[in-house]
Amino acid sequence: MKDGTSAHIDIEKIDERSVAFHFPGIVANPVLTLNMYFGPKYLYAPANPYFDETIKNQYTYNPEKAIELLASIGIKPNSEGKMTDITGNPVEFNLTLGADSTIGIDTANIFADECGKIGLNVNVKPLDFQKVVDMLLSTYDWHAVIICPGSNYWPTQGSNVWMVTIYF
């Protein structure tokens, strides 16, 4: 929060999966496709031989559902349409990522714009990649991070960071 306070969320209602899956419903994938990759024909690389078409994303673009999920943990819009926690404080967070990826920065800005449409204030903070790694491993002074731990072609790459535990 800009004023130095923390958001107050009903921690009893949060589990690791609920927090992580509130945000895909906010971002419209067609917006990313058209703005970042110049339309669908440029988006897709050759198919990964390990891709399983039977796996479907259950969290698709649905801002109303995202608002409902956020409300279930105490984050609700105020009279001005801005999301607030259970004590009325505005919900705002920084989204940190490496400054060396223009596509990543553009994606983060689209994410922030989409979050803004439902009243969430997201501050995009591009930083030197090593600073981001330092924040993740040493200082822990981050709210949310976009980071690419390697290629996404082989299923094992990045496996050392797949497991996520959220501590409150």
pLDDT digits (tens, 9 = 90+) for 35-86: 655 555 544 556 666 767 787 777 778 889 889 989 999 999 999 999 999 9
CATH class of 11-45+57-161: alpha beta
Q: Best-predicted range by mean pLDDT among 27-31, 38-42, 53-57, 147-151?
A: 53-57
Point out which residues pair with 146 in neighbouring strands: 97
Residue 153 half-sphere exposure toward CB, CA atoms < 13 A: 5
CB 99 within 8 A of CB 126: yes
Band (135; pLDDT cuts 50, 70, 90): very high
Strand extents, DSSP E, the chain? 76-77, 83-84, 92-98, 121-127, 144-146
Report the percent of the chain where pLDDT is more than 70.
58
The pLDDT of residue 1: 45
pLDDT at residue 28, rounded to an integer: 59
Domain boundaries, the chain: 11-45+57-161
